[in-house]
């Protein structure tokens, strides 16, 4: 029994000595590789590191190891350690296992583009509907955000006594959420650098800055109920809309359709 214990003890000691020998050999492998040469420490990836990983993440996740290599085999810009200055920077490429880390692989982190702030807030129970109008139909451009307006529609005549021009109230009251302007596509093309440079025969003349003002389309966005949205969209696609600014004490109700002769329909 005592002999068996002694044998087990000897085996355990030999196992420990063998493990120590392996560790010593491994720890000296780098130095043996550069024996007689100038060596430098470099960082190698311990695993695949995705592009966009920051220096701070590489350090905290221990994604690199330090290795001694012959100086003549190390490219310029090789990193010997992760400097704190790299914490906020990120990799511009993916690294493979055992790939060397270089300073040029890091660049300032790209900030996410800020979402544009909303130009207006839609009331919880209403919808926002935009309609395109000429400046005259927005009270000569005097309609602004927050105004109360009445919306009229006029349907054009069809050169028939049975179908005269008609005008009626689409929305007695609506709140203006925003007012903007845009240039029609055909005019925008003329105003582009390529349009200005065009000198081909028969080309449309480029409008002057003064005349361009009259060509602008004005867009008004109104807050309406779901039922009013249907009426507004139908009227917009059927005829010509006009906005009327309401005075402080103005009260508007839906009126009968009025024809161009002045008769109520």
Q: How many helices (H) and strands (E) does the chain have?
A: 6, 10
pLDDT for res 209: 45
CB–CB of 196/206 below 8 Å? yes
pLDDT tens per residue across span 192-209: 554 443 333 334 444 444
Query: Taking all residues of the chain, what is their mean pLDDT, rounded to a whole number?
Result: 75
- Helix/strand/coil for 157: coil
Is the pLDDT reported for residue 35 higher than 80? no
**pLDDT attached to residue 92:** 92
Look at 58 and 248; give whichever has higher pLDDT: 58
**Quick one: how far is CA 239 from the chain centroid?**
36
Tell the residue number behind the tokens 């005008």, with chain if given: 167
Instruction: Please state, in angstroms and rounded to a whole number, the distance separating the CA atoms of residues 232 and 242.
Output: 11
With a cut of 60, say whether residue 257 has pLDDT above it.
no
SS3 63: coil
Alpha-carbon gap, residue 31 to 38, rounded angstroms = 10
What phi, psi does 183 have (nearest 5°)?
-105, 130
Q: Return d(Cα 189, Cα 205) in angstroms, integer.
A: 11
| Residues 112-142: tens digit of each pLDDT | 666 666 677 888 999 999 998 888 888 888 8
Integer Cα distance of 142 and 115 in angstroms: 30
CA distance 99 to 40: 16
Q: Give the per-residue pLDDT at 141.
A: 81
> 5-9, 105-109, 128-132, 195-199: which range is least confident on average?
195-199
Task: Return the CATH class of domain 27-108.
Answer: alpha beta
Kindly report the number of other CB atoms within 10 A of residue 153's CB atom.
21
- Tell me the per-residue pLDDT of 37-75, one tens digit each, with 9 for 90 and over: 688 899 999 999 999 999 999 999 999 999 998 988 889
What is the pLDDT averaged over residues 14-27?
A: 50
Determine the pLDDT at residue 197.
Answer: 37
CA distance 64 to 125: 56
User: What is the token pair recorded at 158?
Assistant: 């069809």
Which tens digits make up the pLDDT trace of 162-175? 667 888 898 999 99
Distances (CA, A) of 158 to 114, 161, 166: 51, 8, 11
Q: Give the pLDDT confidence score for residue 157 in this predicted structure.
A: 72
Q: How confident is the model at residue 181 (pLDDT cuts 50, 70, 90)?
A: low
User: In the prediction, which pLDDT does 218 show?
Assistant: 77
Is the pLDDT score of 85 beyond 60?
yes
Domain boundaries, the chain: 27-108, 127-193+212-259
């Amino acid at each position: 029994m005592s002999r068996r214990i002694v044998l087990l003890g000897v085996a355990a000691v030999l196992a420990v000595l063998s493990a120590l020998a392996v560790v010593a050999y491994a720890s000296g492998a780098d130095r043996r590789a550069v024996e007689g040469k100038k060596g430098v420490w470099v960082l190698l990836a311990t695993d695949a590191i995705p592009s966009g990983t920051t220096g701070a993440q590489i350090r905290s996740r221990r994604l690199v190891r330090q290795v001694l290599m012959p100086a003549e085999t190390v490219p310029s810009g090789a990193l010997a350690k992760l400097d704190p200055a790299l914490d906020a920077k990120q990799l511009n490429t993916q690294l493979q296992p055992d790939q060397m880390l270089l300073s040029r692989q890091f660049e300032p982190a790209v900030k996410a583009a800020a979402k544009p702030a909303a130009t207006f807030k839609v009331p919880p129970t209403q919808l926002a509907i935009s309609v395109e109008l000429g400046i005259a139909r927005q009270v000569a451009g005097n309609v602004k955000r927050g105004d109360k307006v009445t919306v009229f529609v006029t349907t054009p005549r069809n050169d028939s006594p049975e179908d005269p021009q008609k005008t009626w109230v689409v929305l007695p009251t609506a709140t203006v959420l925003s007012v903007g302007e845009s240039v029609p596509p055909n005019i925008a093309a003329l105003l582009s650098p390529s349009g200005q440079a065009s000198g081909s025969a028969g080309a449309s003349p480029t409008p002057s800055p003064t005349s361009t003002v009259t060509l602008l389309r004005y867009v008004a966005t109104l807050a309406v109920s779901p039922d009013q949205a249907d009426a507004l969209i139908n009227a917009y696609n059927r005829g010509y809309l006009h906005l009327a600014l309401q005075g402080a004490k103005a009260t508007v109700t839906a009126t009968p359709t009025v024809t161009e002769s002045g008769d109520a329909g």
